[in-house]
Amino acid sequence: MLSSELLRTKISRGKITPLFCTTNFGNGTDYELANKLIVFFTNAQKNKQCKGNLLQNIGLLESEYDYKLVRGFFALLERRSIFRRLNTSSSIATPILIRQKLFEESSKQGLALSDSQRQDIIQKVADQMHISSENVETIMWSDKDENLLLTQFDTISPKDLILWYNLSLFQTLLFKCTRLEFYVKGGLYWKQVLRNVKRYGLMYNLEYYSKGISDDDGDGGDGSGGSIKCTLEGPFSLFKMTDRYGTSMAKLLPSIVGTPTWKINGSIMKKTDDGQKIYSFELSNESTKEFLRSTIESPYQNEDDYVYDSSTEATFAKRFHQHFDQNDKFGWKISREPDPLIADGKAMIPDFLFERFGRKVYFEIVGFWTKEYLDRKAAKLKVLFDDDNKSADLLVAVNSELACSQIETISKDKIFTFQKDVSIKPILEHLKKIDAEIIEEKIHTKIKLDEKNLDLISIKQVALENSLPEAATLKILLADYPDEYVIAGGYLVSNKKINIMKNNLDGISKFVEACKILTLQKIPDSCHADLLSKMDYDVVWEDLDPNHAKISKRAA
């Protein structure tokens, strides 16, 4: 954060935007200025120059570059520097004591109106303190800011200085904020940001929204494709404005823009020649990707790398993966800590989210915690399960040893208990009900098939091409082509092709020879046995070797 007089902004049509430094690293004028200032500080530290000399050198840049930018860079570099007063051999002769002695001696002799009178006073003080007159003059003002020596400088690259400056500029803008709304994506990041909201004592409210900050990918947290925003009251909206509150809001900013996906909008109060005016601003990770960077990387690349909060959660996730193939494009997917659910303006971030075809099911595991924690959890669940709140499909598994019976009585059809490990059976039953609903929703979809390949239709391929569940795809195809196909091993085989193969199978008794005939008709190996059965043939296995297997025609 910078001082308010160093804030650089541009205003257009009622909107205000920080005047960020360009990130044309290695070539632009902003980079050039940043590099020059870093070199000045580096040389000043190397040569033990005083701050006054450093300021004099940097002052020369103010006529060549934007004054506010020069001073902004300087302010940040100064925070990476340590200035100390000149060390002397005498621990007694401090600047304050020397000035005191000089003033006392001057009051005795009278005001020094000549250089010789001044030197006489200095010499008498030097004699009293047993140091040289040169040391008296050197030490006298050595504790003043401009005379402090740069003894240590923690260097930084021009690129990092520019990115630091841009963040600080953004923070400075928020200091005069009247209202702030923001969105971050992912329950893990919401947890981190909201923890800081509470830590800094900011007043906040969470709500679902459809306008304003938009979730471009539609992957919001309300179970219906919407998104969530957190609204903060700004320091200039309070009855009693405080610098402390404004500073707290500025401190929150790094945790927001440090996440991979974020959006912020709000209002700023700014003095103009016509008085106070309100300007709006809107920024996101997309609009600032060349100016700001995410400082928080994803804590895990895939589900296997994730460190779960408990062994109970880890065991449940493992069981879920055993039932649902996560590589199946249209199967049920599981993810950790999704966007929050909202209960009375506050956040509840479930442990898991199950998703398929836009349907979302949240799952919370309530383990053994303190009574206060369980009471808060129960209050949030009660709001979420209220009849008027249908925004989320939430399941809750409760440890049967909990001393919080009120949780179990909230919703009997959505809450179940466990002892050691969470049973996946209630989850599977719930997801099956939703699968049935999805199929009913999708069976009215129109499917257009490739006219050149109507004899053999892959149900899975058609499902992928039309973004449909395989069960719904099969229902639609059978409705569109009644009595025209036989289902075998995930394929629809036309009656026309079936008749050709039946004729070719006459006189064939070995299974492998029958398979050759099916292969010539481009029937996949995986459905040979099933198709033969549908064609009224029995496969007789003498052992595990297919070469020994035989086929026999069933009696009509």
d(CA 393, CA 385): 9
The 10s digit of each residue's pLDDT in 467-512 is 999 999 999 999 999 889 999 989 999 999 999 999 999 889 999 9
Q: For domain 303-439, give its CATH number from 2.40.50, 3.40.1350, 1.10.12, 2.40.160.
A: 3.40.1350
Contact assessment for residue 520 and residue 500, using Cβ atoms and an 8 Å cutoff: no
Where does 258-370 have alpha helices with state H? 311-323
CA dist 552 and 556 (Å) reads 12
Tokens of 267: 């209002």
Q: Which residues pair with 395 in a beta bridge?
A: 363
Residue 475: CB partners within 8 Å, gap ≥ 6?
439, 443
Q: List Cβ neighbours of 91 (8 Å cut-off, separation of 6 or more).
A: none
* Rounded (10°) angle between helices 29-46 and 51-59: 160
Tell me what pLDDT residue 147 has.
76
Helix H, strand E, coil C: the string for 229-245 is EEEEECHHHCCCCCHHH
pLDDT at residue 50, as a whole number: 86
Q: Nearest to residue 282, comparing CAs of 13, 15, 550, 494?
A: 15
Rounded to an integer, what is the distance from CA 202 to the centroid of its chain? 20
SS3 state of residue 529: helix
Cβ–Cβ under 8 Å, residues 407 and 378: yes
Tokens representing residue 165 in the block: 């400056």
The answer to whether 492 and 457 have CB atoms below 8 angstroms apart is: yes
Q: Which residue type, as a one-letter code, is found at position 491?
A: Y
Cα separation values, 271 from 181, 248, 268, 357, 510, Å: 22, 22, 10, 51, 93
What is the DSSP-derived secondary structure letter of residue 50? Answer: B
Angle at 26 between CA 259 and CA 173, to 5 degrees: 45
The secondary structure of 84-136 as a DSSP string is EPPP-S-SS--HHHHHHHHHHHHHHH----SHHHHHHHHHHHHHHHTS-HHHH
The angle that helices 243-257 and 187-199 make with each other, rounded to 10 degrees, is 160
Tell me what pLDDT residue 300 has.
40
Looking at residue 10, what is its pLDDT? 92
The tokens describing 346, both together, are 């506050």
Q: Tokens 């800081």 sit at which residue?
A: 196
- Which secondary structure element, helix H or strand E, spans residue 514, and what is its range? helix 511-520
Inter-residue contact 473 to 459 (CB < 8 Å): yes
Measured CA to CA, the distance from residue 40 to residue 158 in angstroms comes to 13
Residue 344: count other Cβ atoms within 10 Å of its Cβ: 12
* Domain positions in the chain: 4-85+150-160, 95-142, 175-284, 303-439, 451-553
Instruction: Say which residues have a Cβ less than 8 Å from residue 106's Cβ, sequence separation at least 6.
Output: 112, 121
Structure tokens belonging to residue 249: 């809001």
Helices 243-257 and 158-174: crossing angle in degrees, nearest 10, is 130
- Report whether 235 contacts 175 (CB < 8 A): yes
pLDDT digits (tens, 9 = 90+) for 365-424: 887 666 666 777 777 777 777 755 555 788 888 887 765 556 656 666 788 888 888 999
Residue ranges in the chain whose pLDDT is less than 70: 23-27, 87-92, 113, 141-142, 209-226, 234-244, 294-309, 368-373, 387-391, 402-412, 556
Give the residue from 58, 27, 25, 29 showing the smallest Cα distance to 41.
Answer: 58
Tokens of 170: 């953004």
**CATH annotation of 175-284:** 3.30.70
Beta carbons within 8 Å of 243's beta carbon, 6+ residues apart: 235
Distance, CA of 50 to CA of 115 (rounded, Å): 26
Alpha-carbon distance of 364 to 353, in angstroms, equals 9
Give residue 145's region: left, alpha or beta (phi > 0; psi -120 to 50). alpha
Q: Which helix (H) or strand (E) holds 284?
A: strand 275-284
C-alpha to C-alpha distance for 163 and 169, rounded to whole angstroms: 10
**Is 544 exposed, middle or buried, given 0-12, 13-18 or 19+ CB atoms closer than 10 A?**
exposed
* pTM above threshold 0.85: no
Strand duo 81-84 + 333-336: pairing: unpaired
